[in-house]
Structures are given as C-alpha cells and as structure tokens.
Structure 1
C-alpha cells in the first residue's frame, strides 16, 4: 500500500455556529422538550439542511407560511432571520402560541428601522433581495418606507424624496468589504445620511470573514462548509477568492467532495458558515484523512464569548407555566 500524500490543513477560527444560531436551535430543542412534538417552525430555523433534518427527526415540522399549520394548540417558532410584523399579527389572529427565535442582532436592526421611521427619515436597507432577513426587516414598516440597496450602482440611481433626511441600515450577514463600498458611495452622494450607531453586520460574520482573509493567501484551495442559501457562507467563499485563494468551494456535506481534485496541492483551508455545526467540519476532516496524511493548524483571530438570553417562556423559572400563561408573559 502506497503512503498517503501529505496535506497541510489550516482551520479558520472562529467558524461555525454563532450565538444567534445557537440560541435559535436551542429554542426549538427546548420547545420540543417542554411541549412535546410536534412544534412548528416557520421557514428553516437556520439555513442548514443538516440542522433542519436533525430537528425534523425529533418532531419539528417546518412550514413556509402559517396557513399550512392545521393544529392550533401547538407552539410555532419564528426563524432566526426574523419575520415581518404582519406574520406575528397573523399568529395572534390564529390564536397561536409563538416563540420568536429572531437573532437579537437582527432585532437590533428592526428597532433601528422603527426609530428612523418615527423620526421621519427615509430608510435605505443594504441587503440581498428576497433573503428572509431582508423580507423581515422591510416588513417591520409600511410598504415603500424602506428602499433596498444591493450595489453601488443602486446608490448612483437613487432619487430620494429628501436627500437630507436619509438613514441606512444593513442585513447582518453581508460581505464587509462590499458593504463598505456601498456605504462609502452613500456618504459621498448624501453627506447628511444617518448611519447606525454600531455596525449592523454581526460580529460573527465579521470574525469569520477576517479569518478567511488571513488564511486564504496561504492556501491552494479552501472549503467552506455551509448551505447554498446561507448568505454568510456564500460571502465566505467570495472573500476567500478575493483574498487570493484560487479555488474556494462551498459544500454542505463531505460526500460532495471530489478527493481526486485535491491531489497535488500542499495546503487547504477549511471554515464553516455561522449556521453550520462543527460536526460537519469534522466529517470533512475525516474524509480527507482517509486519503491524506493531515497536518492540522488552527488560525484563530478572535475569541467569541457572546451569548443571548432565551425567550421568557423557555427560561427555567417558567417551566411550570402553561403555554397560554407563557404567551401572556411575552405580550
């Protein structure tokens, strides 16, 4: 048997689950534990099919719209991406007991939008059309109040009602560099535009992109573990290519890897989007270890210690309350 070729593997850190994703998954798990199956989840709780499938096996039922739910007395959970206000109103009208798993950093953007609206500003949202987070953010306010900006070209074509009464906010999972260019264009065209007090792009998105930027120039190829509909995972692939790595592949599972295409390279970098569990990274390493003698190195650029509290109905002090009492507690 011939010796396995050597392969240097650089693991980016931080990688994988962020606090918002971890909280959202925990909400579904605790709801199943306390109320039993089934519990309903509107949209994928996070954009990762492995996570969704594992929760389905435990009794979670995923739907796209509330009208698909035929049973009124089961908990309904809103995904980490957030929902328009009309969805919550619909849940109340249907007498659903719901738990909101919206990431607190997304909720922060919602509150910023509402504040700008109360102050009479027209709002520009930097983001990707159709993404659930963008749909949820725009749905916090009346139609027409928020204008979506996807590119610098959109900024150039913008004709606001009052260029001195504008504010911008952003989707939390964007490319830091792309967003910086769009913001620069906005400030150049509209010097009086109001910016967020703190960057809307979340800490986890920023940290994962910075780690990839640092590692990518030293890699012959990079693998990003994540889903194709995961915005933050797609951005990691783009960042790797821009940072100088000639090849960057986004995969969901190790089974998608064509090992033969990695023969002859010296160094590969591996990271994972914020909604991808570490077990999938381990799966990728195991796949490579069957064909290569691996030399592992971890490059860590930041420590992440942030955590977010659970919704009140799921906190330990509320264990004995009924679903109706829990609903009242959150109102």
Structure 2
C-alpha cells in the first residue's frame, strides 16, 4: 500500500507592505503611561486613574495588571489613594474636588491639550466667548469646555453647525480645536467660522497636535500606493478613526480600523497586492508588529517605509513623580 503523498506547499502570494512613519505612540501618550507606571512604583498599588489613561485596551489592560484601577468618576476613588487624570484632560472642577478631599493627584493631561486649555482661559479673560471645534462627548472636548463656566464655550462639530452658532456678541469670539481632529475637516470649519464671523480670533499656533498632523500626512503619502490600509487603534480613539477617514479620502480603496491582528477581516483583503499599515497615537509598536507578522504568515512580504517626518518630542513627567517619596 502506497503511503499518502505529502501535500504540496503552495508559495505565498507576494505583498508589498507600506509602513507609515511616524505611527503609533506620541510623546503625550508615552508620558501618560510613564506617569501611571511611576506612580505605581512610588506609591504602590492600587493607583486610581480617572478614565482610560489613553484610548487603547491593550495598554489599559497592561496597566490594570500592574495595579492601576480605572474609574469614570472621582466619586469612585478613595481619599487615601493617589488618582491620575487621563491624557485627554479634565474639567477644572475635577482637580478642585480632589484638592477639597485632600487627595494626592497627578495630572497626566498631554501638554499640548493643556496649551489649548490655557489659550481658552486667556481668550475668556480678554472678554471673548469661545467656539470649540471638537466631537461631542469626547473626554478632551469635555475637559476643554470645562475650563470655563457653562455657556462660555460653544461647540461645533461640522461646517453645517457653524450656521447655528449663537454667540453673545459676533464681534467678540475666538476659536480653539480638539487636538486630534482631521486637519482637512478642521480647515473647512475654520473657513466657515471666519466667513460668518470675520473678527473671530484664532490660536497663535494650530491646536491640532504635531502627532495627529504627522500621522495624517504619512497616511496621505501612503494611501495612493495601497490596495488597502489598516489602522491599528481603538474604536474610541479619535485620532485613529480620523486616520481611516484620511486614508479613504487620499485614494485608498479600502481602509479598516483594527485593535489587534485577530480583528483583521481577511476576506475583505482577498486579492490585494499592497497594504498600508499605520497606527493611532495610543497604539504601541508591539501591536503593529503583531499585524505585520500576521501578514508574513499569509504572504511573501516586502516592507517599504513611507516616512514623512521624524519626531523627537519628549515631555517631562510631573515633578511630584521625580521627587523621592
């Protein structure tokens, strides 16, 4: 009796994998994660964190395993344990409440978000009402609007919203923006605001952060070369979702947001010859490597880097964590 013939191993189909640079962690996210880790080292577990420190399940789960407890309200924190405010920023009432309870707290708000907070405060002190371009319900928007009394910040999300803005005095307005928006969408909204309110005052320097802008520019350069594109990031990550939109607009026929390699919809990628890979600012490199490895398992991969900027920004952690216990 003949022994069964071994199955022929079919060659893997070729695939060009374009890897965007910059991608993944930005300086603000890196700092926020470091703050939680240093707080755990300094004070021991548990350390409480108000809201997800950054919008990435893998990162949050990893910190939870080390002893971080994530809550949505200061009411869920005991008085005798440290609490950290997330990178997205918080309304002024939150640290005020922590101080009233004599809690140890550390503010992990990204310095570029804090810059927008200071900007809004200065405009208000100059007697200007603020228009904020941002997404309803996003923690960064809630935090920025919460820097001023209710009614002092008017929110717009789209160009159409501009027509419905009802300021106290159309000649006494300024605008700020969420740091993680689509650069192109924001340009259109700013143009609509300036057309309706010619005297409106803008920021000295654009509020959309360098990391958001750089990742979007890399996607714009990469998208026309790709049959498909994957963005590694969380569904509640604003900057990650904007990367999917930017990729589609820039000419990529198919763009998908995935949290892990296990989330890839392989049927939608059937027949592709090229794929672009990038990641939102809160996605660690290990998850990008995981996605690249998943393609190596199925394809004969050639990796090409698409680099549009080099980032060397670094933010210091708060002094309280650098001081001895």
Determine the C-alpha separation between the residues in 1 that align with 2:96 and 2:267. Answer: 53
Contact 2:154 2:165 in 1 (8 A): no
**For residue 22 of structure 1, what is the aligned residue in structure 2?**
30
1:238 aligned partner: 245
Q: Alpha-carbon deviation of 1:50?
A: 0.3
Give secondary structure in 1 for the equivalent of 2:163. Answer: helix
In the alignment, structure 1 residue 253 sits paired with structure 2 residue 260: yes
- Two-structure CA RMSD over aligned residues (Å): 0.8
With 204-213 and 258-267 compared, the bigger mean Cα shift is at 258-267
Deviation at 1:152, TM superposition (A): 0.8
The aligned residue for residue 124 of structure 1 is 131
Deviations 1:88-117 (A, max 9, x none): 111112221000000000000000010011
1:141 aligns to 2:167 (yes or no): no
**Correspondence 1:295 to 2:307:** no
Structure 2 partner of 1:276:
283
Q: Which one has a bigger Cα radius of gyration?
A: 2
Cα distance per residue 1:120-174 (max 9 Å; x no partner): 1010000000000000000001000000011111112223221111100000000
After superposition, the C-alpha distances for 1:261-291 in whole angstroms (9 at most, x for unaligned) are 3231110000000000000000001111111
Q: 1:110 maps to what in 2? A: 117
Pairing 1:149-228 to 2, within 5 Å after superposition: 149-228=156-235
Inter-partner Cα distance in structure 1 for 2:227 and 2:268: 12
- Aligned to 1:43, which of 43, 51, 54? 51
In structure 2, distance between residues paired with 1:197 and 1:239 = 25
Hey, what does 1:312 align to over in structure 2?
Answer: 319
Residue equivalent to 2:293: 286
Q: Distance in 2 between matches of 1:233 and 1:167?
A: 27
Distance in 2 (CA, whole Å) between partners of 1:261 and 1:156 is 39
Give the one of 69, 81, 88 matched to 2:95. Answer: 88
Q: Secondary structure at the match of 1:303?
A: coil
Query: Does the CA-based 8 Å contact 1:259-1:288 persist in structure 2?
Result: no
Taking structure 2 as the reference length, what is the TM-score of the superposition? 0.96
Mapped partners of 1:258, 1:165: distance in 2 = 50
CA distance in 2, matches of 1:158, 1:36: 48
1:258 positional shift = 3.0
Gap runs ≥5 in structure 1: 322-331
Which residue of structure 1 aligns with residue 4 of structure 2? Answer: none
SS of the equivalent of 2:49 reads strand
Instruction: Tell me what 1:266 maps to.
Output: 273
For 1:7-18, list aligned pairs within 5 A: 7-18=15-26
Cα deviation for residue 24 of structure 1 reads 0.1
Q: Secondary structure at the match of 1:157?
A: coil
Name the counterpart of 1:327.
none
TM-score normalized by the length of structure 1: 0.94
Cα deviations across residues 170-225 of structure 1 (Å, max 9, x unaligned)? 00000000000000111111111100000000000000000001110110000000
**Count of residues in correspondence between the two structures:** 317
* Structure 1 residue runs of 4 or more that deviate by more than 3 Å after TM superposition: none
Worse overlay, 54-63 or 83-92: 83-92
Contact 2:89 2:139 in 1 (8 A): yes
